[in-house]
Structure 1
Amino acid sequence: MGMNNLKIAWRNVLRSKLFTLLNILGLALGFAGFILAYLYINRETSYDRWNPNYDQIYLVGLSYQGSHTDLTPPALAKVIKTRLPDVVEVGRVSYFPWEMPFIHDHGEAMVKNWKAADLSIAKIFGVEAYGLSLSDENRPDVNLVTPQISQTLFPKQAENVFAPRQIAVQNEQSGFFPHIHGVTKARGLSNLTYDAIFFKPDLAGDAEGDPLQYQTYIQVKPGTDINRLDQKIKEIYQQEISQHHHTVTSAFAKGETYLDPLQNLHLHPKHGSNTGYLIVWALGILSGVILLLAGINFANLMIAQAHRRAKEIGLKKVFGVSRIRLTLQFMGEVLLQCLLAAVLAWALVILCRNGLQKWLAYDLAGFALDNQIAWQLLVAALLTALAAGSYPAIILSGYHPVNILKGNFQTSHRTAWFRHALLIFQFIIALVFISGMLVLNRQLDYIRDGDKGFDPAQVVQIKNAAILNNPADFKPIRDRMQAYPDIEYVTATTSIPGGIGPAEKEFQHVDQVRKADHIAVDFDYVETMGMDMLQGRSFTEVFATDSINGAIVNETLAKAFGMQNPIGQTIRGCDTDFQIVGVVKDSKMQGFEKLTRPTVYSINNTCGQFKTEILIKIKPGRAQQTLAALEKDWKSINRLDGEHFRYEFVDQNYAALYAQQQQLESAFRGFTILSIVIALMGLFSMSAHSIVIRQKEMSIRKVLGASVGQLFIQLNKSFFRIFLVANLIALPIAYLLVDQWLATFAYRISISWWMFALAGMGTLLVALLTVAYQSVRAARANPADSLRDE
């Protein structure tokens, strides 16, 4: 008998330690999710915050009929500077849309991000250089590169004692031999990024005749009335700048300016996508929910195990320990476990850092030394201890010692409603996560595999620095490339999917005026891109007028103008009367988030963009061989471009449009797994506790003839009810949430009932497996083992 009691006591000790370990592990998983989320959030919200002028910097953009652009005419900056005393600095930024080789005798560097800017931009964005002062606007041009580019170009040159060095850009025969005057100092994360940046006292030069567009930034005096300043800039643009000849051709000539604060530009700029902003909020909420789930597990298990500490509590109260002291004791224990869990989470993320970095697609390299995340984790641990430990501590410290010592203590019924409510909440969150994961995967599969209106497979962008606006200049290059047997089509264009966007212009048909994108192309563009011709024909050299004023439009433009028979009709834009020769199916070249815009394709580049992008379509399975052959002969094929052969696959460029959505998918998948694991840990603990306190009841039922199946149902029917209630609450919530997320896409999947049914059935199956082993073991146990004490 004594040996049996010893075994039971030993089992209870082990079970208690197991529950404590599960508690700490559950909290650690919650804190690990918190760490991973806030590493990303801290990084994404830190852009330019190191800048002392952060709150006074604004981008000046243009808007028209709901569309926004970050580009403005160059003359606008000069007028703002001379007319508005509240603006202390004005600067313009332009960029070179080509990947360029910078060449020096001692090295060669490929520069992908090459910008030009007014010298005042250095003040606005805090750009500094070793050994150079950039504060004098009267100084001559100053060309800077980053330390990484400098090390590649000038491996023997110390960056802090830099002497100006002359380089060749593109090749030694290009005729462009600028000097590099210095190396930029490291800065924090910024919206102004560059590999090389060339500063000029006056970037735009002749503002009246300059057809290019620039980003315009202003820095205002502290305390400036931004609304009033915004209105003044609108008036300047509408009364003076929009009347310039080169601006009138833009769709934004009839629009107005807007001010977008620097703090918005990275995550939710008016001219771009707010996906980054949504991801930051989503990760913040998800990490909080995961931590809440872990805290719920903790509270649930403490209450469930209260009977194990009943006599301890009773004796302490008999000896005069106050309720406040008991509450503080329990809170101290909770705090200790939370801190242990936080340290364990930190260690888990460090150990799994490489795998997590690849999975989540963001840098975790320096997180262990990040003081910000350390403080955030400490605060999260303290708040979790307070939230998760308060209720159990108050409940445990409030027990009456007389009842406890008489043996009348029982918590299972008094607190069952609370424990069940917490478990329901856990399953609600898990079901919402699983349903959301299924819908998110389906939407991203639709983006990857759905109808894009063009076929990017086997299409390669050959990077090129030559301007190919004139079809006659491009024809020798095209003919040479088409001579390769595995190249099906060759063309040139101003815009590619996932690359530089098309120019937005204004077009007129009869008495109607509409905004439309304009893309300048060369012959065989429709065929190269695999677009479907709905009416008419593609461009061909057979018709000489195609190069002069021929146009192909998409179906959205034809509908916008109400054209029943578009072929042969005329639309006017960019001071040219275009005659429509064909209509193509709408294509989602700018992604699935935005509706396809009316689009005009023409060979004539009268709208002003540079036709620099070379596209080729290669036969399936022959890409590597063909590209190797092109690289070997490139110098003789494209003498204008030089010796450097560079390329990218268009489908990879297009996929980059959804890099952030894929990042959200990875993070959401991770949080889904965490939510399921934490919920199942809670279910496992509650199931084990329920079996322990009902063990004698089950033994009596078995003695009275209950079968194993009946006992299994009896032990778990409360959990089945919990699961049913959780489904009834979770699925409508999940539907509303995923529908809101899908609303951010112009082209989206339909939500089907089976997605939610699959989530519910999958969760039920895993839940059954979680409780099955313990329940069946308890149901098959010999009743004499638990009843022999009675």
Structure 2
Amino acid sequence: MLKLNLKIALRNLWKNKLITTINVGGLAVALASFILIIMYANYETSFDKENPNYDNIYIVGITYPEFKTYYTAAPFAKAIEQNFPEVESVGIIKGSSFELAIKNGKNTLFTNNILQADYDAAKILNITPEGGLIKPTGDVERLSYLSKESMKTLFPDKKDNKPEMVGFGASNLGITGIIAGSIKKNLHSNFTFDGVSIANELGEGDNYDMNDFSIYLQVKPETNLAGLEQKITDLYRVELLKGKTGQQLIDEVKGISTFLDPLSNLHLKPKAGNNAPYKILIALSVLGILILVIASINFTNLSIAQATKRAKEVGIKKVLGAYRFQLTTQFLVEIFMQCFVATILALILAELVLPNFNNLFQTHLSIWRIDNDLSWQLPLILTVITVIAGIYPAMVLSGFKPAVVLKGNFSSSKQSYWLRNGLLVFQFSVAIVFIIGLFIINSQLKYMSKEDLGFTANEVVYIKNITIFNDPVKFEPVRERILRIPGIKSATVATFIPGGENGVNSYTANGLKANIDFVDVDFDYFKTLEIKLKEGRFFSNDFKTDTANAAVINESAVAKYGIKSPIGQIIRGCNIDYKIIGVIKDFKTQGFENAVQPTIYAIKDPCGGYKMQIMLKIEENKMAEALATLKAQWLEINPKDGEDFRYEFLDELYGKLFKKQEQLQSMFFAAALLTIFIAILGLFAFAKYITNGRIKEIAVRKILGAADVQILKLINRSFFIMVVLANIISWPVAYLLTKMWLGTFAYRIDLSLLPFVASAIITILLTVLTVTVQAAKAVKANPVDALKYE
């Protein structure tokens, strides 16, 4: 019976080659998209799952009135370990803040991220060097490891895992150290690094004013997390108030609390951080499911539309004794064969598209990995699609009554008619939502690219550097040497560059104490970035006090503290009474998604970071020559950085803030194209079926004098109504979704009617064109050919 069903299936599929091609092709394209998306979802939701303690690991975060952060004080780790028996282990880590050169003879490696971890943190986070995790003992303060790739760069011929002596920084500094061995660089982890430095303890001598570390806990299974969270908050408040008095301080500490964020949250939706990856994943998943649903709808629609051609076949088989179950099985086998072929084609298409997909989302996905979850997910998807797309058509076909169809009185039911039209409207509704979304995303990105940022990143070069220039006197000779090079207009150094994270500290002004951002700068910082002054003045060498207690604040800081006349006012922080000498206009240092934060800029800041980020403003037509000269003279200009001159363009670094939105744009562009393509395929086949079913009607109308245009108008009418209905349904949905998306931006466009009208025009034109092309053949046919058997 199975063999017979296969033969019949092949015969019917071959007989309807065009419909089969459309069905299989549309489904293959949709499945290829879904395969890529499900692989991406598997990848994004499995970060650090190799860790045996994955479900019991949490990071300690601090909630301030203005923000949340994962940065805490090192002493708090010991306090937690000593007070809570439900916590099995506590560890602390710290990332590096600058690029470090490591050398072995002529081989040089630039590391961007050396992770510092104490022994307990390495155990908790499953950071295990080759040969196992060893606890530093005796006189050995730290054990340093580099990734296998890094070790290969420094020691190309190395075959063992023995310790090696290397140089750090410029060759002329003579700083050396030992690399204890290699460590696996796990790209599928929240803790990526070029190397790891493991210590017995980190943060020795630190106090609760220095929030530089991240604390990780491994808790016992079945721990009451809400209760533990509250107890940690109570302990933190006690620690902050030790040795301190004053009702104002007590009230401030009451406004601070802690939270525990599970390891499973850190990659996609951290409580303190950007949850853009989670939004991208949800958007991708919804797109993938919708594309697959649309393809399945096509399948169902065309199978139902083909029902009348199979009516006599079903009637004869039933007369000869075939049961409904047998007929249902036969039709499901036909559908399964089409789905199976579509799956094979989908894998081929996915493999072809995968390099571009990996490049867009910065992943390393592979279809053919042994441990790939697709090995069980794909058969499941194939089965589900076969059932969803085939069960209703199979039931319709197998349910025909022999007496009716063999008399020639068969016609499709009103139920099937409404279902077909309803599914077609749904297809176009989804496609219209994608088109509108694409228009609005493009408009927002265009706005972001053209809107005034408040500063100029073009022609600014960021020089990577390991020398600390907190003292302006130390940077002045370097600055003078740099400015001698033709083409360089200005030079400055700061703790942070636009596009990166700023520091946060507590400042008091106008009787209000608040946590605001700080950036420690040097002279010409504002000039180099072309930041606009609102009132007052910038830092200047002409005023000696500027290096002692002068500060510049932005408009948001003025609003935050409610200062009416800021110039000359005092803002206190880090035990210094800063005098406000200028107010700058807000500039979008963190892009468009986050509102500009209240920020203070100062030259002297004992509580600040290291001023290492050198920025140069260089004339565009002299850029190449200036950079070449800098490279040749860098050893003389900045001896501690020596021969290791390297740079990046600030506009490219700042542009990384828009990466996620550009990914979303690419997703919607692909989704809009796919949904329109699949919907048009279905519309083409459906129009062919409708037209073929009305050939005799068309012939009679032509004989009675109807013009070709009138007949085309008649055929297009029902499809036109369905597309208009699809627009009416989809507009409110698209409006709500795009409004929610735009709500994630602090600076955004206003929704206009244009994308909605444009989507209607596009879908109506495509529908009319598709139906007209398909119907034109029937309209131009000779009426005699259609009526000669009547």
CA contact (8 A) 2:99 2:113 kept: yes
Question: 1:617 deviation in Å?
Answer: 0.9
Q: CA deviation at 1:318?
A: 0.8
Kindly report which structure 2 residues correspond to 1:326-337, keeping only aligned pairs within 5 A, or say none.
Answer: 326-337=327-338
For residues 318-338 of structure 1, give each alpha carbon's deviation from its aligned partner in whole angstroms, at most 9, with x where no partner exists: 112111222222222222221
Q: Is the alpha carbon distance of 1:254 and 1:459 closer, same or farther for their aligned partners in structure 2, counting shifts above 3 Å?
A: farther
Give how far 1:131 is off. 2.5
Counterpart CA distance in 2 for 1:745 and 1:651 is 20
1:471–1:239: structure 2 CA closer, same or farther, 3 Å change rule? same
Q: Over residues 519-560 of structure 1, what are the superposed CA-to-partner deviations in whole Å (9 max), with x where a residue is unaligned?
A: 110001111111111111111111111111111111111122
- 2: CA distance, partners of 1:565 / 1:316: 93
Change (3 A) 1:763 1:209: closer
Aligned-pair distance for 1:636?
0.5
Q: In the alignment, what sits opposite 1:74?
A: 74
Alignment map for 1:12-91 (pairs within 5 Å): 16-91=16-91
Is 1:201 the counterpart of 2:200 in the alignment? yes
Contact in 1 for aligned 2:491/2:524 (Cα 8 Å)? yes
Flag the 1:357–1:229 CA change in 2: closer, same or farther, 3 A: closer
- Taking the aligned partners of 2:109 and 2:649, their CA distance within structure 1 comes to 22
* 1:180 matched residue in structure 2: 179
1:284-323 equivalent positions in 2, closer than 5 A: 284-323=285-324
The match for 1:282 is 283
| Unmatched runs of 5 consecutive residues or more in structure 2 | 1-11
| Partners of 1:506 and 1:618 in 2: CA distance | 35
Query: 1:571 aligns to what SS in structure 2?
Result: strand
Deviations 1:298-317 (A, max 9, x none): 00000001111111100111
Within 2, Cα distance between the matches of 1:556 and 1:44? 36
The structural deviation recorded for 1:106 is 6.2
Distance apart, 1:123 and its partner CA: 0.9
SS in 2 for 1:475: helix
Which amino acid is the alignment partner of residue 79 of structure 1? Answer: A
Residues 391-470 of structure 1 mapped to structure 2, 5 A cutoff: 391-411=392-412, 415-470=416-471
The answer on 1:557 being equivalent to 2:541 is no
Describe the SS at the equivalent of 2:508. Answer: strand
Classify 1:14/1:329 alpha carbon distance in 2 versus 1 (closer, same or farther; 3 Å): closer
Moved more, 656-665 or 207-216: 207-216
- Would the aligned equivalents of 1:59 and 1:217 in 2 still touch at CA under 8 Å? yes
Moved more, 362-371 or 538-547: 362-371
Q: Give TM-score scaled by structure 1 length.
A: 0.94
Q: CA deviation at 1:644?
A: 0.4
Q: Tell me by how many angstroms 1:622 deviates.
A: 2.4
Structure 2 counterpart of 1:710: 710
Q: How does 1:694-733 map to 2 (within 5 A)?
A: 694-733=694-733
Match of residue 379 from structure 2: 378
Q: Distance in 2 between matches of 1:227 and 1:125?
A: 22
Report if the CA contact (8 A) 1:74-1:210 is conserved: no
Alpha-carbon distance between aligned partners in 1 of 2:670 and 2:725, rounded to the nearest angstrom: 25
Alpha-carbon contact 2:89-2:120 (below 8 Å) kept: yes
The amino acid of 1:335's aligned partner reads F
Change over 3 Å in CA distance of 1:785–1:562 after alignment to 2: same
Residue 381 of structure 2 aligns to which amino acid in structure 1? Answer: A
In 1, Cα distance between the equivalents of 2:184 and 2:232?
Answer: 34
CA distance in 2, matches of 1:66, 1:407: 76
Instruction: Give the aligned CA root-mean-square deviation in angstroms.
Output: 2.1
Superposed CA deviations along residues 213-272 of structure 1, whole A, max 9, x for unmatched, are: 101111111111111111121112111146589xx9xx9996222111000000111121
- Contact conserved, 1:132 with 1:182, CA < 8 A, in 2? no
* Structure-2 separation of matches of 1:635 and 1:136: 36
Displacement after TM superposition at 1:626 (Å): 1.3
Is 1:141 the counterpart of 2:142? The answer is yes
Q: CA deviation at 1:140?
A: 5.1
The equivalent of 1:6 in structure 2 is none
- Name the amino acid aligned to 1:556: S
- Residue correspondence of structure 1 range 214-613 to structure 2 within 5 A: 214-241=213-240, 255-358=256-359, 361-365=362-366, 367=368, 369=370, 371-411=372-412, 415-499=416-500, 501-613=501-613
Amino acid at match of 1:423: L
**Equivalents in 2 of 1:776, 1:570: separation in Å?**
81
Q: Give the deviation of 1:483 after TM superposition.
A: 1.4
- 1:549 maps to amino acid: N
| Native 8 Å contact 2:73 2:208 kept in 1 | no
Contact 1:204 1:210 in 2 (8 A): no
The residue aligned with 2:626 is 626
Tell me if the contact between 2:102 and 2:110 (Cα under 8 Å) persists in the aligned partners: yes
Task: Tell which deviates more after alignment, 204-213 or 657-666.
Answer: 204-213
Task: Please identify, of 195-204 and 182-191, the stretch whose mean Cα deviation from structure 2 is larger.
Answer: 182-191
Paired with 1:288 and 1:208, the residues of 2 have a C-alpha distance of: 51
* Equivalent position amino acid for 1:497 in 2: P
SS of equivalent residue, structure 1 residue 352: helix
Distance in 2, matches of 1:50 and 1:169, equals 33
Identity of aligned residues (%): 39
TM alignment of 1:95-106, pairs within 5 A? 95-105=95-105
Mapped partners of 2:241, 2:146: distance in 1: 35
Q: Distance in 1 between matches of 2:110 and 2:529?
A: 28
For the Cα contact (< 8 Å) 1:299–1:391, is it kept in 2? yes
Q: Is the 8 A contact 1:166 1:180 kept in 2?
A: yes
Q: Aligned in 2, Cα 1:346/1:566: closer, same or farther, shift over 3 Å?
A: same
Equivalent position of 2:752 in the other structure: 752
Q: Aligned partner of 1:223: which letter?
A: E
Do the aligned residues in 2 keep the contact of 1:33 with 1:287 (CA within 8 Å)? Answer: yes
Residue 3 of structure 1 corresponds to which residue in structure 2?
none
C-alpha distance in 2 between matches for 1:244 and 1:274: 38
Give the SS at the match of 1:740: helix
Secondary structure class of the residue paired with 1:206: coil
The answer on whether the counterparts of 1:550 and 1:603 sit within 8 Å (CA) in structure 2 is yes
- The question of 1:685 aligning with 2:685 is answered yes
Do the aligned partners of 1:55 and 1:263 also contact (CA within 8 Å) in 2?
yes
Cα pair 1:123 1:135 within 8 Å, conserved = no
Q: Which string of whole-angstrom CA distances, capped at 9 and with x for unpartnered residues, describes residues 664-695 of structure 1?
A: 22122111111110110111011010110001
**Maintained 8 Å contact 2:65/2:255:** no
Deviation at 1:386, TM superposition (A): 1.3
Q: Secondary structure at the match of 2:729?
A: helix
Do the aligned partners of residues 252 and 629 (structure 1) sit closer, same or farther apart at CA in structure 2, a change above 3 Å counting? farther
Which deviates more from structure 2 when the two are superposed, residues 77-86 or residues 455-464? 77-86
Distance 2:367 2:206 in 1: 45
In 2: Cα distance, 1:68 partner to 1:289 partner: 36
Moved more, 531-540 or 409-418: 409-418
Is contact 1:208–1:244 with CA below 8 Å preserved after alignment?
A: no
Give the TM-score of the pair, scaled to structure 2. 0.94
**Corresponding letter in the other structure for 1:165:** E
The alpha carbon displacement at 1:362 in A equals: 3.8
What SS does the corresponding residue of 1:371 show, helix, strand or coil?
A: coil
Letter of the structure 2 residue corresponding to residue 542 of structure 1: D
Give 1:15 shift.
Answer: 7.2
Asked if 2 retains the 8 angstrom alpha-carbon contact of 1:539 and 1:546, the reply is yes
Partner of residue 5, structure 2 = none
Determine the C-alpha separation between the residues in 2 that align with 1:606 and 1:204.
18
Further displaced range: 405-414 or 570-579: 405-414
More deviation, 508-517/382-391: 508-517
Q: Distance in 2 between matches of 1:209 and 1:599?
A: 22
Unaligned runs of 5+ in 1: 1-11
Structure-2 separation of matches of 1:108 and 1:551:
40
What is the alpha-carbon distance in structure 2 between the residues aligned to residue 654 and residue 515 of structure 1?
25
Structure 1 counterpart SS, 2:597: coil
Give, in angstroms, the shift of residue 634 of structure 1: 0.6
* Aligned twin of 1:162: 161
Structure 2 distance, partners of 1:342, 1:244, is: 69
Once residues 326 and 155 of structure 1 are traced to their aligned partners in structure 2, the CA distance between those partners, rounded to angstroms, is: 67
Amino acid at match of 2:384: L
CA distance in 1, matches of 2:488, 2:362: 35
Whichever residue aligns with residue 269 of structure 1, its letter is P
